[in-house]
Copies of this chain bind each other. A is one copy, B any other.
Amino acid sequence: MTTQDAALTLAQRLADSIRSRLIAGELKPGQRLSEATLSSDLDVSRNSLREAFRLLTKEGLLRHEPNRGVFVATPSMASIIDIYRVRRMIECRALEQAYPQHPAVARMQRAVDTALKCRAAGDWVGVGSANMAFHAAIVDLADSARLNAFYAQIAAELRLSFGLLENPEFLHAPYVDLNAAILEDLKAGKAQEAAGALETYLERSERTVLAAFARIGEGERRG
């Protein structure tokens, strides 16, 4: 898979590793990451770990409080709203101006197919991943490396929020068919309609996520 792992610098590999654990929910929001503890756990020097921390802080996955340490970023309603605002602006516009022959359309198709297969198998985590891939492919339509990188960051942040939410079926299942419909529109040359559908879609998704987030917020406040 990821050959030439050795070509990457240790800090990058560390960042990758920690990012995975963040997205997987192993590291909980708000949790402090001790330099001494983590560096000895991962068997690397504090300096290398600090470089990785700087990377992940720039990505918005960690928060750095000088002299206090780094913490797993804590998603908030504000951050979710912000992220969805960005998504609507980027994804809808990318879709709107897309042409059906774009290579990213094939990627969208694969994502939809995968999602359908996973849904049939009851693999909701797989459905979630496929949906994320679908949206990344939409951004690809805009043909901008910087936009892709930015979106990847936003997506990782959002996955941090999803990690807080249980019930992935509820969170991802409804969107498989909507994704398929959007793809059909696009392939039929109806980019404008696809964009409109996506806009509605994202608003709905935002409401769902915010509502779920509000619920767990209540629970934690009294827990």
Kindly state whether residue A66 has any CB partner on chain B within 8 Å: yes
As for how many copies of this chain the complex holds, the number is 2
A190 touches B (CB below 8 Å): no
**Contact at B154–A86, with CB atoms within 8 Å?**
no
B89 contacts A147, C-beta separation under 8 Å: yes
Is A7 part of the contact surface with B, judged by Cβ < 8 Å?
Answer: yes
Q: Is the CB of B8 within 8 A of A86?
A: no
- A47-B47, A89-B93, A93-B93 in contact; A54/B146 too (CB < 8 A)? no
- Chain B: which residue is nearest A88 at the CB level? B93
User: Assuming the A-B contacts A55-B58, A66-B7, A66-B9, are A142 and B90 also in contact, with contact meaning beta carbons closer than 8 angstroms in the complex?
Assistant: no
Asked whether, in the complex, the Cβ of A85 is within 8 Å of the Cβ of B51, the reply is: no
The interface residues of chain A, by DSSP majority, are classed as helix
In the complex, how many residues of chain A place their beta carbon closer than 8 angstroms to a beta carbon of chain B? Answer: 30
Chain B residues with CB below 8 A from A145, complex form: 82
CA distance A90 to B142 in the complex (A): 12
Which residues in A have some Cβ–Cβ distance to B below 8 Å? 7-9, 11, 47, 50-51, 54-55, 58-60, 64, 66, 82-83, 85-86, 89-90, 93-94, 142-147, 150, 154
